[in-house]
Chains A and B, each alone.
Chain A
Amino acid sequence: MSRWLERFRPYLMVAPAIIVFVLFFIYPIGYMIYLSFHEWDFISPDKQFVGLDNFAGLSEHPEFLKSLENTFVFTFFSVGITTVLALLLALWINRPTRFYGFVQGAVFSPHIISLVSIAMLWMWLMDPQYGLLNWGLEMFGLPQSEWLASPETALYSIILVAIWKSIGFNTLIIIAGLQSIPPHLYEAAALDQSSRFTSFAKITFPMISPTLFFLIIMNLIGSFQVFETIDIMTQGGPLQSTNTLVYYIYEYGFRFFQLGYASSAGVILLIVLSILTVLYFFLMSRRVHYQ
């Protein structure tokens, strides 16, 4: 009896967690792939098998293509700008004094605030008529902007909010990376009388490149899922200019009940995220740093 229990104990221990994962993460992925080959409106009892028709339909659907394009533009600019600014900021504010600690706290603070509040706050700041941002632009003698109200600027306004929200987290992760560089490397560089730029290029950058790499992949994965700011600030508008992949899935699933369509868009997202994940593990196993 007790030997039997001994053998099964580890299974018993992992069972609750594994059941949750299978039920709510693994199985749904399979179900979504299954649905992507079917046509279903949620109400009718039978799902009709349509092969790859949903995917073919998506490839000709201007709204879907627009949402894909927007997602890529959003990802490219938000991840690119966030990473560069966070790196510069981290090099600047990585000092142990109280004042620098306060600056780090201030920069980080948006990260723990609900995206709901951040989205509503920025809607207000970006109000074309009474918003603080236009007031600021006017003070500096710059032309005002329509922000979220114009299809030309709406997506970039959302990108601005994403950068503002995530830059602090990125900065602090890079600072943690900087602090884990062994000081003796810099001592050696000082003995060699190398310039600050050389020691950045030869020591700092190679040493934090795994951290940067981790951050970029995490940011890419995160920004492909952008939804909250879109839903609250623009609902994909004006004129589809801020419609993104997840918002498209949400609208086609929950507003138009085209579950086959929505599921195949989900499969596209799954493919993008899988590629990024595999890339991450592949490059991680090859090790990007030099020690």
Chain B
Amino acid sequence: MKTSRFALKGLNVLGLLIVIAIFATPFVWMAVTSVKSLSETITFPPVWIPETIRFENFALAWDSGPFLRYFVNSLIVTLSILVLQLFTIVPAAYAFARYRFFADRVLFALTMITLMIPTQLIFLPVYLQFSSWGLLDTHLALILPFAANAFAIFMLRQTFKQVPEELLEAARLDQASEWKIMYMVMVPMAKPTIITLLLFSFITHWNDYFWPLVMTTTDASRTLPVGISALTNVEGGVAWHIMMAGNMILVVPILIIFFIAQRHIIRAFVYTGVK
């Protein structure tokens, strides 16, 4: 009886280790490949420990295109989206949570419909729109459609509704303006929700490939994921070590942030997923 329980426990740990391996091995393999030589990538069976660690692969990947440009573009686009969202989401969520106005139901329904429309559905007409406005291949084309976020408005409205009314009454007695109440009383109360939403937004847009792929035509406005994807067709055939080195530049910072702030990030995604 005792030995079988012990065996079961061992089996359980072994199973868990296999689960970890299924998710960790690909990343380890990416790291190993990124410091190999070309000849070490085209041997079978594969080599696990390269003869010399070639850090120059990262420089080669970085220099294979205007990666500084891509990086700056990614930064501009993502940060602009975050800032704009702060200014559109907070007032909208506040109005939907605290005011009854003539068209509030219609406008809220419109927000909820938007929540259900994926970018994969609207890219063609939006592309045509941007083309007629002369905005194709600009940062604005990557920023404007995401200047507001229906999902974030919905979430923040729920949080704002839970702020006790007495707190607002007290602020109003102090003659605080509505705008002041919104940003000085409501926003601090909803800080965890707002941080969660911003984190979620940051990761989504930093990683986004589809929208910048469709809306950009030159390196001037391409973002990091689109730039990295171009490593698949480097001249002179496939160079897996350079491709993996390029992807390491994209993946490692996110993984480091993930392992430092794992609890917050998981909460951000699960929380936004469940509600």
Contact = CB atoms under 8 A, between A and B. Distances in A.
Given A14-B95, A130-B43, A116 B209 contact: yes
Q: Which size class do B's interface residues fall under?
A: 35 or more
B197 to A, nearest CB: 14
B168 to A, nearest CB: 14
A21 to B, nearest CB: 4
A25 B147 contact: no
Given A21-B114, A132-B46, A117 B247 contact: yes
B122 A125 contact: no
A168 interface: yes
A269 B247 CA distance: 32
A93 B240 CA distance: 35
Contacts of B262: 101, 105
B269 interface: yes
B153 A17 contact: yes
A130 B207 contact: no
Interface stretch (A48-56, A145-153, A196-204, A258-266): A258-266
Contact of B254 (A11, A23, A113, A221): A113
B20 A115 contact: no
Contact of B121 (A14, A18, A117, A273): A273
B210 A227 contact: yes
Nearest to A254: B214
Report which residue of B33, B203, B213, B259 has the largest number of chain A beta carbons within 10 angstroms of its beta carbon.
B213
Interface string A10-34: 1111101110111111111101100
Contact of B26 (A7, A24, A93, A125): A125
Nearest to B231: A120
Given A14-B96, A211-B274, A249-B124, A116 B101 contact: no
Nearest to A102: B20
A64 interface: no
Q: Interface residues of A: mostly helix, strand, loop or mixed?
A: helix
Contact of A124 (B117, B210, B244): B244
Contacts of A11: 101, 103
Interface residues of A, number: 89
B113 A20 contact: no
A112 B203 CA distance: 7
Contact of A172 (B15, B206, B269): B269
A122 interface: yes
B24 to A, nearest CB: 6
B75 interface: no
A89 B26 contact: no
A69 B244 CA distance: 33
Contacts of A105: 258-259, 262, 266
B266 A108 contact: yes
A99 interface: yes
28 contacts: A9-B95, A10-B101, A11-B101, A12-B91, A13-B94, A14-B91, A14-B95, A16-B87, A17-B89, A20-B147, A23-B144, A26-B113, A32-B122, A32-B125, A100-B16, A109-B258, A114-B225, A114-B254, A120-B231, A120-B247, A124-B29, A168-B23, A169-B270, A177-B274, A225-B118, A225-B120, A266-B121, A273-B116
Q: Which 3 A-B pairs have the closest CB atoms?
A: A28-B125, A114-B207, A13-B91
Given A89-B19, A134-B44, 17 more contacts: A11-B101, A14-B92, A17-B88, A25-B122, A31-B128, A32-B122, A32-B125, A103-B19, A111-B269, A112-B207, A121-B29, A121-B30, A130-B42, A132-B29, A172-B270, A232-B229, A250-B123
